[in-house]
Chains A and B, each alone.
Chain A
Amino acid sequence: MAEQMSHTERVPHRRRPAPRPPRSANDIYVNTKTDFRAQLARCRRLLVAEGQKELRVHGLGLAIGRAINLALQLQLSAPDALLISASTSTVELTDDLEPEGGEDAEPGTRNRNNSAIHIRVYRAQEE
């Protein structure tokens, strides 16, 4: 989508990587590149083998669908044991604009917002 936007707006820009909050072992940041099965296996390993009480699955933009899918798949594997609660947020992203055809202009930056989802997957018997 951003691709199309850039073509219509004709503003060449370069995206900076999304801010990366400090993460602990049970924070899972879902992306669109990694194999879905691998991500699922990683979550299972964390829950089963390493005995994490809860996982926080984060998805940003295009990866929201995947994050939801991942959480649901996890729950499906153990419907009684695992519970899900989701929350959403907005993440501010930065683009570097590249002024065309001159170096007199200061290269500006542009902020845009993107939605994110944070799903807490936790064990039921905890309570």
Chain B
Amino acid sequence: MSTAKGKKYARRMRNQPSNVSLDQVHLTPQGDGQRGFQSQRGSTSRQQQRGPYQSQGAHAGGDRGRGDYNEGPPIPKFITASMFAQARAAEINAMVKAVSQKSSNSLVFQSLPRHMRRRAMGHDVKRLPRRLREIAKREMEKSVHQKKEQSKSKCRKARRRHGNLQLEFNRRQRKNIWLETHIWFTKRFHMVKKWGYCLADRPTMKSYRACYRAMSNHCLLQDLSYLCCVEVMGKEEELLKALSRLCNIETGPTFAAVPCLSGKRQGSLVLYKADKYPNEALGPVTFIWKPKSIPESSCELRHLWLWMHTALKQDILKELRHVFVCEDRPDNAICAAEVPADPPQEEKPATVKTGGRKRKAQDKKGEKAVPVKRIFGDGTRASPDPYQWTSTQTSIIIRDLTMEIVRYRLVGPLSCCVLNDALHPAPLHKKTEDCGAHSWWEDYCQNSDNTLLHERQSSLFKLLQEIASPAQIPSGTVLGLTVGDPRVNLPKKRTKSLPNFQQIEDKAKVKSLMVDGVPAECSQSLIWSSDIRFQVTENKIPEQEMNRLRSELLVPGSRLDLGNKESKIPILLIQQPGKTTGRDRLGWGSSWDICLPKGWGMSFWIPLIYRGVRVGGLQQALQHSQYMGAPNVPGDFPDSLAGVLSAVEKETQLLEKYTKRPPAKRTNFIKHGILAPFLCPWGQLTREWEVRAGAEVNRSTQEADHGTEDGAELNQSVQNKDLGTEEQADSPKDIDMDSGSAVSTEQPFEEVGPKGFSVLRNKKVLKELSVFCDPRGGRKANHPPSEELLSLVNPVLRDFPKSLVWVRLSMMTKGSPELHAVICIPSKEDLIQLSKDKTFAGPQEPKHSDSFKKKVVNYKKELRKQKAKSKREGSEKMETNAEPLGNNQLTLGLWPNPIPEVTTHCSRLLLGHVTQGDFSMATGCGAALGFVSLTGLLHLLQQASDKIGIVLIRNPSSLQYRFAKLTIDT
């Protein structure tokens, strides 16, 4: 009996009268009934054995007909009446007690039959039958008592009062920061806690397909405020010199690219640890330089914004500090370093809030009572100022602007229309009226150059309406603008904004915008200045005030004209290029990003929603990157620390889900030949391929030496390069021989960390590879000469022996690839069969045997035995608890940890894994993105001569391989 069963039994028997059961002693065939009774009473025993015929009473009661004379105890010859009655009385007592006491865990009214239950029984005792009222009363008191402890101290009305609600909200976001749109999202989305934020995952309504449609035809809105912004200030040369250590020109334009440096374009690149390229990536960032001010001065401070994913922030910040030679401790955190400095900050808004209760009285005094909401930057930080670090050698300052700037993304062709409808350029300051709270705008407008610039910017913004899709203008265009309060011209109803058919603007202007983009000076925005940002946030007219003003309008529903009091908000519009790789659907998913100062999030969100956009969460972001063929941050950067962490997190998540299922209903991955279904073993994969390639190249060069002397120089070069590869290949080989799981042994050998591999991001090499992979490339139509390939292969192999390549796969016939599906090399027979029969679905993997199943089962049995044993012996709970933890790795259906060679485990050679896979609604077939080993890929290219770039994909939950076309998009 397992423990659970045992407990249940014990609970059921708890209130049973113990004297009903009988002692074994009684069964001894003694004719002496008296003695029998005595002994029975003597042992009103704790023993729980019972049987229908063991009761003495039953026998004594003359139930002769059923008793077996041979086996059962003989009938006593005489009974003493008093004794007998006493015994029966005891039994009756016990029975009465058992009836009056309820034994189950349920509430009283649950024990009633259904037809006697009434709805209000839960809280009204009088609804119950009278006999149960006593018990129910007791029960209710108990439950009330329990509830008291949990419940809030205040009534609901008090709790929902604005100030208290804010207090509660601030308490709840102490651990995970909320975005400004959080409350809006919680009502409509499934929320997840990730990277220290509460983020929206997906809408609660069914909208996967609708979101795709919105992205390709309409407009999808996302809140990306969780992205982090790091501002770097300093002299241009110094900045560039230091930053050049973090990136490499081989991966594309760097920080010094001319269009980016002037500030009119956004750049994007992958950062590496200082001087470590191509190893140790940090992750992708996008960056914007602040445009130079119009009268140029040579020693001007340049500002640079680096936008990155939250998961990468710590690593990148650390590296930036290292490169710029800064101290680890932020300059302005020193005073707030002690722990007690934090609570006063927490209290501060609270004191304001307690005043806020009498808000009617305080409202008249001014806005001072209103700012209760926590809008200062990173909610975890003590001071509202952003952290900053100053370089000890140069004058460079790093500033962490996390949560200082709200960032929204509008994906889709109609995003220009939506923006144009929702926002309007700020009106110029009118001198005739009284100046409002926006002195910065007054100052700005006094300069005629500035007003001219503002007019140019607004005319450019108006022109955007003419553009059918954000993809039409140069990628990464930055447009600065100052807009008026978007709440002013909110439509009454939610409407869908559509392009205006009739509008015919200046065609030449539109054309110049499309060709040249925004001129550099128009990229200037006041959002760069932290003072103005602060002022704008401070002087925001609160929603309540806004509504009051609206209600005071003479004509209800007419446009509110605030004059100079209307807020002006400096914003930045950044165009994001959509799909830039591959051939199909170029420009798909291009989008506009809009950056606002903090505190304005909801005021811009609602107007955008009222223009008929659809809203997406993290799932839609993944969908977006998947259809663009772009790696998703941080999951698809396995060579960065954040990528590794996210993979591990994903693994635990998947494993938990897997082990929750009953063992018989799980996929047995061992039988499917899937060694690591939850975590891709990139390190092991690349290492094994490297070893294989080393052996192969050895053979081929020997053959070449024996062969003819044509292309002597080529051979020479090949040999030279081979030497290189061999040298590199040799050392890890030795390690591999020593230990099955070389992950741990490699760490001291290379300081690369637990990975030892890198992702190939060299544009030139990728371009050449993509030509080889693509049969449409044209050049290699008549059988690719292996020399040409070799000449490409060898330097690449020498430089990047352990590299992964980001590939796109599209299924040729059926099948929809899943996460962590395996990518394999087809055998010759497969290809022959495919060329014979075009509808050939693909080979099947023979079922593997599960040698671990027995072990697991045996182990479980033993465990059970031990537990039972220990229970019998006594409560040695410590021991029983400790043991299952020690051997927990053995899970039915999963390969225990040191996994054998991954490449050759299945019948086809393993090439890589899928990291994003789904049915693609754009192409109408299964599509996947993933990584393959570079060495393996070259092996594939050399092997198959006529069918280039065809691989097999198999889902972890299936034995069926499917054909897919592999392409490398550049």
Contacts and interface: CB of A to CB of B under 8 A. Distances in A.
B584 interface: yes
Contact of B474 (A19, A24, A96, A104): A96
Given A94-B515, A109-B515, A20 B469 contact: yes
A109 B516 contact: yes
A16 B586 contact: yes
Given A103-B249, A103-B253, A109-B516, A17 B258 contact: no
Contacts of B413: 20
Contacts of A17: 469, 471-472, 586-587
Given A16-B586, A16-B587, A21-B468, A111 B258 contact: no
Contacts of A94: 472, 514-515
B256 A96 contact: no
Contact of B468 (A15, A20, A92): A20
A22 interface: yes
A14 interface: yes
A97 to B, nearest CB: 11
A109 B499 CA distance: 26
B576 interface: no
B587 A106 contact: no
B521 to A, nearest CB: 16
B778 interface: yes
A107 interface: yes
A63 to B, nearest CB: 15
Nearest to B473: A16
Contacts of B256: 103
Contacts, number: 48
B259 A107 contact: yes
A99 B153 CA distance: 68
Nearest to A100: B764
A106 B258 contact: yes
Interface in A67-112: 92, 94, 96, 103-107, 109, 111
Given A17-B586, A19-B468, A104 B516 contact: no
A33 interface: yes
Interface in A1-38: 3-4, 7, 14-17, 19-22, 24, 33
A111 B257 CA distance: 23
B684 interface: no
A3 B778 contact: yes
Contacts of B9: none
A104 B468 contact: no
A105 B516 CA distance: 14
Interface string B435-478: 00000000000000000000000000000000011011011000
B626 interface: no
B580 interface: yes
B524 interface: no
A20 B514 CA distance: 13
Contacts of B402: none
A103 B515 CA distance: 19
A107 to B, nearest CB: 6
Interface string B248-292: 010001101111000000000000000000000000000000000
Which of B468, B471, B580 has most chain A Cβ within 10 Å?
B468
B472 A16 contact: yes
Contacts of A22: 468, 499, 501
Secondary structure type dominating chain A contacts: loop
Contacts of A21: 468
B580 A14 contact: yes
A43 to B, nearest CB: 20
A4 B249 CA distance: 28
Contacts of B586: 14-17
Nearest to A22: B499
Nearest to A101: B249
A21 to B, nearest CB: 7
Contacts of B511: 92
Nearest to B510: A19
B113 to A, nearest CB: 60
A125 B258 CA distance: 61
B257 A16 contact: no
Nearest to B471: A17
A92 B580 CA distance: 20
A111 B512 CA distance: 11
Nearest to B503: A22
Interface string B837-866: 000000000000000000000000000000
Contacts of B501: 22, 24
B107 to A, nearest CB: 61
Contacts of B580: 14
A92 B515 CA distance: 11
A109 B258 contact: no
Contacts of B584: 33
A4 B254 CA distance: 30
B476 to A, nearest CB: 10
Contacts of B499: 22
B475 A96 contact: yes
B922 to A, nearest CB: 10
A24 B587 CA distance: 22
Interface in B213-258: 249, 253-254, 256-258
A119 B115 CA distance: 75
Given A22-B468, A103-B258, A109 B249 contact: no
A37 to B, nearest CB: 14
A3 B268 CA distance: 27
A15 B578 CA distance: 12
Contacts of A104: 258
A86 B253 CA distance: 46
A17 B511 CA distance: 14
A8 B316 CA distance: 42
Which of A17, A22, A92, A111 has most chain B Cβ within 10 Å?
A17
A21 B474 CA distance: 18
A94 B586 CA distance: 13
Nearest to B502: A22
Contacts of A20: 413, 468-469
Interface string B930-957: 0000000000000000000000000000
Contacts of B475: 96
Nearest to B256: A103
B506 to A, nearest CB: 16
Contacts of B254: 103
A111 B515 contact: yes
Contacts of B249: 103
A1 to B, nearest CB: 12
A8 to B, nearest CB: 12
Nearest to A12: B767
A22 B516 CA distance: 23
Nearest to A106: B258
Contacts of B514: 94
A109 B256 CA distance: 20
Contacts of A19: 468, 472
A21 B469 CA distance: 10
Nearest to B779: A7
B471 to A, nearest CB: 5
A109 B472 CA distance: 12
A56 B962 CA distance: 41
Given A94-B515, A103-B256, A109 B474 contact: yes
Given A22-B501, A103-B249, A103-B253, A16 B259 contact: no
A24 B256 CA distance: 45
Contacts of A33: 584
Contacts of A96: 474-475
Contacts of B472: 16-17, 19, 94
A68 to B, nearest CB: 24
Given A16-B472, A103-B253, A103-B254, 6 more contacts: A17-B472, A20-B469, A94-B472, A103-B256, A103-B257, A109-B515
In the complex, the 5 A-B pairs of residues with the closest C-beta atoms, listed nearest first: A20-B468, A103-B257, A17-B587, A103-B253, A22-B499
12 contacts: A16-B471, A17-B471, A17-B586, A17-B587, A21-B468, A22-B468, A24-B501, A103-B249, A103-B254, A103-B256, A104-B258, A105-B258
